[in-house]
Chains A and B, each alone.
Chain A
Amino acid sequence: MAALGLTLTFGQMGVINMANGEFLMVGAYVAYLTQQVITAVDLSIVFALPMAFVVAGLLGLLLEVSVIQWMYQRPLDTLLATVGVSLVLQQLAQDVFGAQGDPVAAPGWLDGRISVFGYEWPHRQLFTIVLALVALGALNAVLKYSSFGRQIRATVQNRQLAETLGVSTRNVDRITFFLGSGLAGVGGVAIALISGTNPTLGTAYIIPAFLVVVVGGVGQLKGTVLAAWAVGVATAFLTDWISGSMAQVIAFALVVIFLTIRPQGLFTVRTRSLA
């Protein structure tokens, strides 16, 4: 999920948002807060999802307007500036919610397991998968069929030309950022169900998410999903043989090797630009 949000901002806009991990955290805290307000656990998650999307999305928008819009010419600098943003957000979360993590109870209908393909799937995992698929589907539909989606794609492929044709690239930038951050927020709700909330939650996800995006091919939704799946499976497979930490090392090493062999990722957009 985080990777999906990233692929949108990074891929579509060339903006490296290191604060995306913190939008995950924001999403997780939104899930926690809605649970405080709407105490009926079964319902609160249903409210938490759109809430997290909107809150994280708005934060992303704020970030875009206040910081990132000045830096489209300097993609590497956005990386560093957003590192600063993520530091501030983390400390803020710690001051507001306390350093101790807060629990997010899973609704009753997510307990228990179901047997699919001969494997006992916990509902919660299925929920995450379904959530990711729905988000993917929706995103894909928006990008492909809506006029706005066409505008986004046009902007990505040739900003000047799109502008000439009357596309307001400023608006496109803002909305893309909103969508990307919002998706991260929704991802945060899913993570809250798996591991609860804590202020440093985002940092553990951000780098793997970036790698997944790059491996998948920047700006490629299908690539992102495939890469996320491949990295996940590879790590799980390796843990069967060696310790968890070594499996992570090897997974990273494989990614690095893969990227040196095929730096453009699994899928690429063909363009005629020199770079």
Chain B
Amino acid sequence: MRNRSALRTAAPLIAGLALVASACGGDDEATPSASDAPADTEAGGSAAPAGTAAAGDICVEGDTVKLGFLNSTSGPMAISEQTVRDSLLLAAEEINAAGGILGKQIEPVEEDGQSEPTVFAEKINKLLTEDGVAAVFGGWTSASRKAMLPVVEGANGLLFYPVQYEGLEASPNIYYTGATTNQQIIPAMDFLASEGVETLFLAGSDYVFPRTANKIIKQYAAELGIEIVGEEYVPLDSDDWTTQVAKIAEAQPDFVFNTINGSSNVGFIKAYDEAGLGADNSPIISVSIAEEEAPAMGVDLTGQYAAWNYFQSVDSPENATFIAAFQAKYGADRPTSDPMEAAYTSLYLYKNMVEKAESFCVDAVNASSDGVSFAAPEGLVTINGDNHHIAKTGLIGQINADNQFDIVWSSEGPIEPDPFLEGYSWWDPNQN
């Protein structure tokens, strides 16, 4: 019995291994046809046949230009990312109505990132290699961007990322149209210093952005002479802030720097309110609460602050047009916010870049991107060709009774992006 069963094990194993081996051998003929396969997608030569992906260049033939819109429309991040999708579609519609890019109509290819980094990596791969899109717009969490980065670099594609983030990154294949830290975190600290703040409490979600932002805040606070009296993190999906808020109440800081993301903010703000804390006795400055989120808190936030580069209340003709167009398409009750504006702007910036380069080819677009500008709703923005970020104005808003922001502070003109904080002598990336 024993011996027989050992034999039985061996026989199929050997047969199987033979199969594996023969399969590998048989592949020599198969290989060429495999790399031909993607070439028959519509964008023709564009499709960067998988075989030569690394060296390929994405250009466009035909009357339309395919652009990939990759946002999460399911999962926890759908809350935020759907608004980005909406404004991207609006921008595409406007550009098409005005004649398209280099005379080509935009053909959006929509994909769902499902709030999962792995899915983002898979989908951007699909957009670039299967659909042959000229550029991809989207991503929200740092995790999604980090997941897409190697793929977009490997395929030499283009990605426009519309959200403020933790900096310390620059990829030749990504354009960052949201703020980097020296355009949001550092201006916020400058504002706090100008308000005479002496003690600061840091509250954040437990992931990359808050951790890195707080690392910068702590080093800059030391420079400014502001004392950090506490630092608390809670997981992204947790709503329970009661213990942490109790610590804030005990520490009695002059200000709370809030880097909490997503629906966890609601739990924080409610617990804050319950603990008897509010704008009058313990103000908060947030970097993730915008027009969209403020009314969802269920608590009166009047008097609290937020640091962004765009508010719906920005007074400019471009912004008035943007808001009117957005509300005409999606409803008069829909607010506009910073990431939405950054996404809207990114599509127009891409249009201007392509038209300056007179080509959709990635290398050509990259070569001429420096100095391309757009009169965005937030004001004039200009691309920095070295680090692919854009110069933006830092703004501080104070929430009013209508859940809109009154702009109370502004940087002196657009701030040049400095993702690695090289221009700041106090910054030491190796110090915790």
Interface residues, chain A, with chain B CB atoms under 8 Å away: 91, 94, 98-106, 113, 120, 122, 124-125, 193-196, 198, 200, 203-204, 236, 239-240, 243-245, 248
Q: How far is the CA of A256 from the CA of B270 in the complex (A)?
A: 31
Q: Nearest A residue to B241 by beta-carbon distance?
A: A244
**Chain B window 211-248, contacts with chain A (Cβ cutoff 8 Å), 1 for yes, 0 for no:** 00000000000000000000011110111001110000
Residues of A within 8 A of B75 (CB): 200
The residue that B298 contacts in the complex, of A91, A99, A103, A200, with Cβ under 8 A, is A103
Q: Is the CB of A244 within 8 A of B296?
A: no
Q: How far is the CB of B78 from chain A (nearest CB, A)?
A: 4
**Chain B window 264-293, contacts with chain A (Cβ cutoff 8 Å), 1 for yes, 0 for no:** 001100100011100000000000000010
Q: Is the CB of A104 within 8 A of B275?
A: no
Q: Nearest B residue to A248 by beta-carbon distance?
A: B235
Q: Is the CB of B296 within 8 A of A101?
A: yes
Q: Does B64 sit at the interface, judged by CB under 8 A?
A: no
Q: Is the CB of A122 within 8 A of B74?
A: no
Q: Is the CB of B243 within 8 A of A240?
A: yes
Q: How far is the CB of A238 from chain B (nearest CB, A)?
A: 9
Q: Is the CB of A198 within 8 A of B243?
A: no
Q: Is the CB of A103 within 8 A of B79?
A: no
Q: Does B82 sit at the interface, judged by CB under 8 A?
A: yes
Q: Taking A104-B298, A245-B235 as contacts, is the C-beta distance between A195 and B266 under 8 angstroms?
A: yes
The residue that A245 contacts in the complex, of B78, B234, B274, with Cβ under 8 A, is B234
Q: How far is the CB of B65 from chain A (nearest CB, A)?
A: 29
29 contacts between A and B (CB under 8 A): A94-B74, A94-B78, A99-B82, A101-B296, A102-B296, A106-B298, A113-B274, A120-B276, A124-B274, A195-B266, A196-B263, A196-B298, A200-B75, A200-B263, A204-B239, A236-B243, A239-B243, A239-B244, A243-B206, A243-B232, A243-B233, A244-B206, A244-B233, A244-B234, A244-B238, A244-B244, A245-B234, A245-B235, A248-B235
Residues of B within 8 A of A243 (CB): 206, 232-233
Residues of A within 8 A of B266 (CB): 101, 195-196
Residues of B within 8 A of A204 (CB): 237-239
Q: How far is the CB of B153 from chain A (nearest CB, A)?
A: 30
Q: Is the CB of A195 within 8 A of B267?
A: yes
Q: Nearest B residue to A124 by beta-carbon distance?
A: B274
Interface residues, chain B, with chain A CB atoms under 8 Å away: 73-76, 78-79, 82-83, 206, 232-235, 237-239, 242-244, 263, 266-267, 270, 274-276, 292, 295-298
Chain B contact residues: helix, strand, loop or mixed? mixed
Residues of B within 8 A of A248 (CB): 235, 238
Q: How far is the CA of A43 from the CA of B393 in the complex (A)?
A: 46
Q: How far is the CA of A56 from the CA of B29 in the complex (A)?
A: 61
Q: Taking A100-B296, A194-B267, A244-B233 as contacts, is the C-beta distance between A122 and B78 under 8 angstroms?
A: no
Beyond contacts A120-B276, A195-B239: 15 other A-B pairs, Cβ-Cβ < 8 A, are: A91-B74, A99-B78, A100-B82, A100-B296, A101-B79, A101-B266, A102-B296, A103-B298, A105-B298, A194-B270, A196-B263, A200-B263, A243-B232, A244-B235, A248-B238
Residues of A within 8 A of B78 (CB): 94, 99
- B73, B270, B298 pick with most chain A CB within 10 angstroms: B298
Q: How far is the CB of A231 from chain B (nearest CB, A)?
A: 12
Nearest first, the 6 closest Cβ-Cβ pairs linking A and B are: A122-B274, A103-B298, A244-B234, A195-B239, A99-B78, A239-B243
Residues of B within 8 A of A239 (CB): 243-244
Q: Nearest A residue to B295 by beta-carbon distance?
A: A103
Q: How far is the CB of A192 from chain B (nearest CB, A)?
A: 8
Q: Nearest A residue to B75 by beta-carbon distance?
A: A200
Q: Nearest B residue to A120 by beta-carbon distance?
A: B276
Q: Taking A122-B274, A196-B298 as contacts, is the C-beta distance between A101 and B263 under 8 angstroms?
A: yes
Q: How far is the CB of B259 from chain A (nearest CB, A)?
A: 14
Q: Is the CB of A99 within 8 A of B79?
A: yes
Q: Is the CB of A198 within 8 A of B274?
A: no
Residues of A within 8 A of B295 (CB): 103
Q: Is the CB of B238 within 8 A of A100?
A: no
Q: How far is the CA of A125 from the CA of B73 in the complex (A)?
A: 34
Q: Is the CB of B267 within 8 A of A198?
A: no
Q: How far is the CA of A106 from the CA of B267 in the complex (A)?
A: 13
Q: How far is the CA of A125 from the CA of B274 in the complex (A)?
A: 9
- A91, A193, A200, A248 pick with most chain B CB within 10 angstroms: A200
Q: How far is the CB of B271 from chain A (nearest CB, A)?
A: 8
Q: Is the CB of A196 within 8 A of B243?
A: no
Residues of A within 8 A of B275 (CB): 122
Q: How far is the CA of A113 from the CA of B233 in the complex (A)?
A: 26
Residues of B within 8 A of A103 (CB): 295-298
Residues of A within 8 A of B74 (CB): 91, 94
Q: Taking A106-B298, A113-B276, A194-B239 as contacts, is the C-beta distance between A245 and B79 under 8 angstroms?
A: no
Residues of A within 8 A of B233 (CB): 243-245
Q: How far is the CA of A198 from the CA of B267 in the complex (A)?
A: 12
Residues of B within 8 A of A104 (CB): 298
Q: Taking A113-B274, A239-B244 as contacts, is the C-beta distance between A195 and B296 under 8 angstroms?
A: no
Q: How far is the CB of B210 from chain A (nearest CB, A)?
A: 12
Q: Nearest A residue to B78 by beta-carbon distance?
A: A99
Q: Is the CB of A100 within 8 A of B292?
A: yes
Q: How far is the CA of A124 from the CA of B270 in the complex (A)?
A: 10
Q: How far is the CA of A245 from the CA of B242 in the complex (A)?
A: 14
The residue that A196 contacts in the complex, of B237, B238, B297, with Cβ under 8 A, is B297
The residue that A195 contacts in the complex, of B76, B83, B206, B270, with Cβ under 8 A, is B270
Residues of A within 8 A of B297 (CB): 103, 196
Q: Nearest A residue to B237 by beta-carbon distance?
A: A204
Q: How far is the CB of B121 from chain A (nearest CB, A)?
A: 22
Q: How far is the CA of A54 from the CA of B224 in the complex (A)?
A: 57
Q: How far is the CA of A263 from the CA of B244 in the complex (A)?
A: 33
Q: How far is the CB of A145 from chain B (nearest CB, A)?
A: 35
Residues of A within 8 A of B232 (CB): 243-244
Q: How far is the CB of B383 from chain A (nearest CB, A)?
A: 31
Q: How far is the CB of A234 from chain B (nearest CB, A)?
A: 12
Q: Nearest B residue to A121 by beta-carbon distance?
A: B274
- A99, A105, A122, A198 pick with most chain B CB within 10 angstroms: A99
Residues of B within 8 A of A125 (CB): 242, 274
